[in-house]
Chains A and B, each alone.
Chain A
């Protein structure tokens, strides 16, 4: 695993991956949207409003997925001091926060016609809102220190502590009597969603997941570039004429080493 700790190795691995992932994202989301909006039936009760589900459910899934990813990265960075895990956790937070917010917004848009209210204080909605607060707290904490290293470490600890909320979100609909419907996709006796709706839902979930990985790679690259620039500036090697040089030169390691040796 530590082979991947080197930024240049990460870039070498993700460089060929990125176009494929981007392509997959575009195709999956386009196909998912087509099936979701045109080629799937409306609900027998909800009519066309049910199509909000195809955004809402994947967004909720990504909100949780990103948090788990962030907590795992946090654990990796605390246990093995893996430098890329730190960066991945930082890069994941804003993406996860956006998905969580998207989930809450689509949820309330869906709730208005179906439940007759934008918001209810029931367990699922509230725990999701807390998840958003945890994301925001993490982002604020990570950026509150002059030393980014210290910020990442404090953030990792917070991400792990906040992970207690994830099972609460997942099982809130089973533990409490809520307005929100119980689990209907991941359950012991198979999904209760109609097969015609499963296809667009699966496409959208896969598409959102791919989108996350594309964004993750881009954000990690951005962070690596920023670190490299900082390192070069600090070591006095920064040259005005070549900022943002092509991204695959081996000087990443030079930048990284310079940073490590400070």
Chain B
């Protein structure tokens, strides 16, 4: 557990001192969301209709673009090699890194989401559900994305590649995340969608650290 906390602390400190990373993710999220009113036109009811989907898709893309940070720099400067050699289980360390990634990208996105929902004219009934769904969904995005981030270590054009690997796996989160908000907006209980999202998160939490750690070990061979 100490190893987990140590790596979490280290990654958080790095993210805070290098500063701009989290801000850039949120900025990307906001800019992407802002593009849609230009693309589909500014009619309020159309925007309200598509708001939940737009916010989820933008969040997905923002989470994906920041994935490179999880392992790439550590891979380049050799830190990752030392981590794989350390006596602490790599699965735990990977989980620590994923937690740090979520705290520095997922959490700011959740805070920024209601703002964009207001700008897209989304009904207020959906706000709580939107934030709850993102609270359950974004950690799953970080966990699943970490597999992709680890697989592409050392690849040519890794950045483009990771989108091809990770986005198909993100689709279930998108479906149920947007579905939950949709249900709340219609006045139906969103419990079912939220429960499925919780299930996805739990499965991802239990299974993906092993896959990610395995991929990291392969990259180190």
Contacts and interface: CB of A to CB of B under 8 A. Distances in A.
Interface in B182-221: 211, 214-215, 218-219, 221
A60 B92 CA distance: 40
Interface stretch (A15-23, A36-44, A145-153, A199-207): A145-153
A154 B152 CA distance: 8
Given A153-B218, A158-B151, A158-B165, A130 B171 contact: yes
A140 B164 contact: yes
A158 B167 CA distance: 13
Interface in B71-118: none
B219 to A, nearest CB: 8
Listed from nearest, the 8 A-B pairs whose CB atoms lie closest are A144-B155, A133-B168, A137-B164, A137-B165, A154-B151, A153-B218, A130-B168, A144-B156
Interface string A114-158: 000000000000100010011011001100111000100110011
B3 interface: no
Contacts of B165: 137, 140-141, 158
B169 to A, nearest CB: 7
A178 B175 CA distance: 15
Contact of A145 (B154, B167, B211, B214): B154
Given A146-B156, A150-B218, A161 B147 contact: yes
A111 interface: no
A157 B154 contact: no
A162 interface: yes
A157 B167 contact: no
Contacts of A78: 214
B14 interface: no
B157 interface: yes
B37 interface: no
Contact of B211 (A133, A150, A153, A161): A161
Contacts of A140: 161, 164-165
B218 A144 contact: no
Given A133-B167, A137-B165, A162-B169, A157 B215 contact: yes
Contacts of A165: 168
Contacts of B147: 157-158, 161
Contact of B151 (A126, A130, A146, A157): A157
Contacts of A154: 151-152, 155, 215, 218-219
A144 B167 contact: no
28 contacts: A130-B168, A130-B171, A133-B164, A133-B168, A136-B164, A140-B161, A140-B165, A141-B152, A141-B161, A141-B164, A141-B165, A144-B152, A144-B156, A144-B157, A144-B158, A144-B161, A145-B156, A150-B218, A153-B218, A154-B152, A154-B215, A154-B219, A157-B147, A157-B211, A157-B215, A161-B169, A162-B169, A165-B168
Contacts of A145: 154-156
Nearest to A130: B168
Contact of B168 (A134, A141, A150): A134
Interface residues of B, number: 21
A215 to B, nearest CB: 24
A141 B158 CA distance: 9
Contacts of A162: 168-169
Contacts of A130: 168, 171
A150 B215 contact: no
Given A130-B168, A141-B161, A157-B218, A150 B154 contact: yes
A162 to B, nearest CB: 7
Given A137-B164, A140-B161, A141-B161, 18 more contacts: A126-B171, A144-B155, A144-B158, A145-B155, A146-B156, A150-B221, A154-B151, A154-B152, A154-B218, A154-B219, A157-B147, A157-B211, A157-B215, A157-B218, A158-B147, A158-B151, A160-B211, A165-B168
Contacts of A144: 152, 155-158, 161
Contacts of A158: 147, 151, 165
Contacts of B169: 161-162
Interface in A150-180: 150, 153-154, 157-158, 160-162, 165
